[in-house]
Amino acid sequence: MRRQSAGSPVFNAPFSNTRSVAELVIGELLLLLRGVPEANAKAHRGVWNKLAAGSFEARGKKLGIIGYGHIGTQLGILAESLGMYVYFYDIENKLPLGNATQVQHLSDLLNMSDVVSLHVPENPSTKNMMGAKEISLMKPGSLLINASRGTVVDIPALCDALASKHLAGAAIDVFPTEPATNSDPFTSPLCEFDNVLLTPHIGGSTQEAQENIGLEVAGKLIKYSDNGSTLSAVNFPEVSLPLHGGRRLMHIHETVRAC
């Protein structure tokens, strides 16, 4: 990392967009359960298709959350307020919030959930973690939502599950390859499905989240400058020092191993 080699800490804001992402997932969940994406697409083409078949309330449905971190926990709380039963799978034991229940095996979560929502980091162990095998374990007619990282879902496998109607729909906010700018074209094999919500990586794109990110990162930089705190730096050891009224000199050393 270039900043680390230059002796500069890099800070992020892991909590600032949590609510925004969780709210987007809740909105997508409700729209998918009611079949709104497909009805909307058909109405735009002049097709009037007023049906109750395939349209459901959120109340009483089972939400399976994969990755019970900052966003997963917020999502669970919001889902419970709608009367949903919340289950989660995580590689670590986590304290459940509300009435959420941790499931020990991913396959069990996939088997039981009416809606599966992904909230995991991008690393080698999560690449294509939702492939053909995992998607086949999901309940027939269930829904898949990905607002985490684009490499987590095998897109061709998802297309196959949608084409065969094994899944009733999906909402995808992140993609394996994304346009570099808003002026670049976007293409995906998922574009052919009316029952899929596609959004341009906007999970954390709210006015509130962007303001919170600026304030949080600025506050961390001030604490680092004034007090030497490196808490939540992504490239430095975490150091939290007490407040002081005098001056403090900080030396940053690089550990170099001998050949």
98: CATH: 3.40.50.720
Q: Are 141 and 110 in contact (CB under 8 A)?
A: no
In a domain, 186, yes or no: yes
Same domain as 257, residue 136 = no
Q: What is the pLDDT of residue 71?
A: 96
H helix and E strand count, the chain: 8, 7
In a domain, 45, yes or no: no
Q: What is the pLDDT of residue 246?
A: 66
Question: What are the mean pLDDT values of the chain's consecutive 10-residue runs (259 residues total)?
Answer: 62 82 98 98 95 96 98 98 98 96 98 98 95 98 98 98 98 95 95 98 88 84 78 78 67 67
Q: What is the pLDDT of residue 58?
A: 98
How far apart, in whole angstroms, are the C-alpha atoms of residue 140 and residue 135? 10
Q: What is the pLDDT of residue 251?
A: 63
Domain final residue pick, 198, 231, 249: 198
Q: Are 245 and 226 in contact (CB under 8 A)?
A: no
Which residues of 104-195 form beta strands (DSSP E)? 115-118, 142-146, 167-172
Same domain as 182, residue 218 = no
Q: Are 152 and 128 in contact (CB under 8 A)?
A: yes
Which structural domain range is residue 67 located in?
Answer: 20-30+57-198
Q: What is the pLDDT of residue 1?
A: 47
- Catalytic positions, written as ranges: 149, 178, 201
Q: What is the pLDDT of residue 139?
A: 98
Helix (H, G, I), strand (E, B), or coil: what is residue 159?
Answer: helix
Same domain as 234, residue 174 = no
Domain count of the chain? Answer: 2
